[in-house]
Structure 1
Amino acid sequence: MSLKKVFKYWAGKTDMKEHRRYFILSCACLLSVSGCLSRNSGPNPDIKLRLYNNSAERKIFHFALEDDGGIDEWITREVNAGTDETVSVEVDRNQMWNTFHGVIDDHVITGELISPESASCIELRFISEIDDSDEPEILQDATEGC
């Protein structure tokens, strides 16, 4: 049986009210999930990076963001002992950044970048040492402005 014959048979068995009802229900279902398909509804947030050197010696921090296409440019900063520095990370707001990478000495940190619902800024705190540990950390927080 051809597709044309099947359609004629199906069309003959139903009335226009049923077609309309099916169409309206289909549209309602599609519209109800259309906002859930993207990771976030607005543009990607700005990113502020704070580098904290809690050690007794000068440290070199390396940081990069990654999306599905690969790693972006590395940011490298030397921070004196017992000080901190704030860096505004220039990002392409149309890309979906999903991972961050950080390196201090021989320590490598990789983590998933948070996806805030309504915040306009992600603040990353790259800390060289926490509580007399040699292990660095990258903490993140979503805020309303950088």
Structure 2
Amino acid sequence: MCVTPRMFSVGLYLFLRDELASLREQYRQLRKRIYRSMRRDRRLWADAIADQAQNAANMGNLKKMYNMTKNCRDKRGKLITTAEEQLERCREHFEEVFRTSATDIDSNPLSKIEVEKALRFLKKRQGACLENAKSRYTDRRRVTNTALGESMG
């Protein structure tokens, strides 16, 4: 059997094709390892910055905390680059943090039972310590009873 140039080029082609397939697989595996490593490193980096910022906040070092979080993102995840956007984001953040919801405070007058219950509680807590506690509470009771009597009917 005689080796022709055509056979040589087909054999070389098959060899190179197999070699190229194995190199592609190696490249794919290396790329996976690199991306995993990058994700892990990015997560560790972000956690380290968050820990440092939290420690600075706990110690009351607001300058360090601000410098740690200066390169921040908005609510949609977009990187904030200008100073105006950073100030706006800080304003939004602190508005959310310090926003107080309307509390449910009962503004109706107290009932007689609630007043008596509160006075009994105060007597138990402070009556043993004060000499004139009884006279003070009975005076208040008289005033409260007359005020309740007037408001109830």
TM above 0.5, one fold? no
The structure with the greater share of residues assigned to helix is 2
User: Which structure has the greater CA radius of gyration?
Assistant: 2
Q: TM-score under structure 1 normalisation?
A: 0.27
Q: TM-score under structure 2 normalisation?
A: 0.26
